[in-house]
């Protein structure tokens, strides 16, 4: 683990050490089970958001299971979260939209595949991660910037890996509630966006606050209200609030992540990384743009990562058996029927004009 006592200066290398300390803390959580509540709603002001004074909140219960590269994500709605349209591709259909709270979703993945199940669509999609970017799961305690249980690390990898796009610097010591935190600023020169990040050097460089402005003018503030000390110099975000607002504060939305249970001591066998789908579920390969490559389960089935290779073969075999993967072709006879119809119409119009002319004579 990196030392938590540094002499702070504007040295870019020390700025990297701050971020490296934060990433090191995340990487040390190689196996855990986390139960948490995710809420979405509104607040009347930024001060109200900081004081946890929310309204119109909708919550769902969520579970995140992590062991090495394996991840299992599940959610269950407590009450209806404000529904919003999501883009989807149901097996055998074109892209479309559906009103969904996201409740009931399951997601299973490792370093090769990702399996996503949406009960509203009765569809499970399998993505090969060597072909497509993995779908990011909803906000998690360690992924409140980018989705996924290591979303924050992904963000820092992007920032510090693209020096032509992002610039960063040490911004000194900032006090929050009378406690000092070391700050780093990151700017995106191409999108005119700005972020200020405050780290707690006494808690594994855990983030305390992040605030900034997007290129569209919307501002945000992420505040970590409490942190769990799980021992061995490891720290886990317990309560996170994210607020988004404009200069006029006419629209202030809030999101809340609150951990209800954290198990970092148990070992989780591969048999834990499964989920069950009901009979009639469409199993499809996603991310390849092919509509129609799927099969439907005949009974309740359990999906695990060891099955994925065989499932993909079965998808291909079933698609060939149905013979419905080819795109529909326009019939050449239909073209002649249109030409014939147009000719008949012109003949009728000509006859009518001749008939009117004879009557007039």
Average pLDDT over residues 305-311: 88
Q: Give 222's contacts (C-beta < 8 A, 6+ positions apart).
A: 144, 145, 207, 209, 210, 211, 240, 241, 242, 243
Query: Is residue 211 domain-shared with residue 341, that is, in the same domain?
Result: no
Give the number of domains in the chain.
2
Query: Is residue 142 domain-shared with residue 32, that is, in the same domain?
Result: yes
Query: Is residue 97 domain-shared with residue 202, that is, in the same domain?
Result: yes
Domain that holds residue 44: 12-102+138-266
> Where residue 39 sits, what CATH number does that domain have?
2.50.20
Q: Give 75's contacts (C-beta < 8 A, 6+ positions apart).
A: 38, 60, 61, 62, 63, 102, 103, 104, 105, 138
Angle at 51 between CA 50 and CA 57, to 5 degrees: 90
The last residue of one of the domains, among 218, 238, 266, is 266
Report the DSSP beta bridge partners of residue 253: 42, 244
- In the predicted model, is pLDDT for residue 136 greater than 70? no
Name the nearest CA neighbour of 66 among 107, 21, 96. 107
| Rounded Cα distance, 3 and 25, in Å | 11
The last residue of one of the domains, among 266, 288, 321, is 266
Q: How confident is the model at residue 95 (pLDDT cuts 50, 70, 90)?
A: very low
- Chain segment 45-75, per-residue pLDDT in tens: 899 999 999 999 988 899 999 998 888 988 8
Are 127 and 114 spatial neighbours (Cβ–Cβ below 8 Å)? yes
Q: For residue 17, is it within any domain?
A: yes
pTM over 0.85: no
Please name the helix (run of DSSP H) or strand (run of DSSP E) that holds residue 14, with its range, or none: helix 12-27
């Amino acid at each position: 683990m990196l030392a938590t006592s540094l002499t702070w200066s504007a040295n870019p290398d020390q700025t990297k050490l701050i971020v490296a300390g934060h990433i090191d803390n995340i990487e040390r959580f190689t196996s855990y089970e986390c139960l948490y509540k995710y809420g979405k709603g509104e607040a009347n002001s930024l001060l109200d958001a900081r004081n946890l004074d929310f309204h119109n909140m909708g919550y769902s219960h969520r579970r995140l299971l992590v062991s090495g590269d394996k991840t299992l994500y599940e959610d269950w709605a407590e009450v209806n979260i404000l529904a919003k349209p999501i883009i989807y591709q149901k097996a055998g259909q074109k892209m479309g939209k559906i009103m969904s709270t996201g409740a009931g979703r399951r997601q299973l993945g490792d370093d090769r595949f990702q399996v996503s199940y949406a009960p509203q669509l009765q569809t499970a999609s399998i993505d090969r991660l060597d072909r497509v970017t993995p779908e990011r799961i909803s906000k998690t305690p360690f992924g409140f910037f980018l989705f996924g249980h290591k979303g924050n690390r992904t963000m820092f990898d992007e920032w510090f890996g693209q020096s032509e796009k992002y610039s960063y610097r040490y911004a000194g010591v900032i006090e929050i509630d009378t406690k000092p935190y070391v700050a780093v600023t990151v700017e995106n020169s191409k999108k005119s966006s700005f972020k200020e990040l405050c780290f707690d050097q006494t808690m594994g460089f855990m983030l305390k606050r992040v605030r900034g402005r997007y290129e569209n003018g919307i501002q945000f503030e992420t505040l970590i209200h409490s942190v769990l000390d799980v021992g061995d110099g490891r720290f886990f975000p317990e309560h996170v609030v994210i607020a988004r607002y404009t200069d006029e504060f006419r629209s202030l939305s809030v999101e809340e992540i609150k951990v209800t249970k954290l198990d970092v001591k148990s070992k989780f066998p591969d048999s834990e990384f499964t989920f069950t789908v009901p009979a009639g579920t469409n199993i499809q390969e996603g991310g390849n743009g092919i509509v129609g490559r799927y099969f439907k389960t005949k009974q309740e089935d359990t999906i695990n990562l060891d099955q994925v290779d065989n499932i993909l073969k079965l998808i291909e075999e079933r698609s060939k058996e149905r013979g419905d993967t080819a795109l529909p072709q326009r019939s050449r006879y239909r073209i002649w029927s249109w030409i014939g119809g147009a000719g008949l119409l012109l003949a009728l119009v000509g006859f009518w004009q001749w008939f009117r002319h004879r009557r007039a004579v």
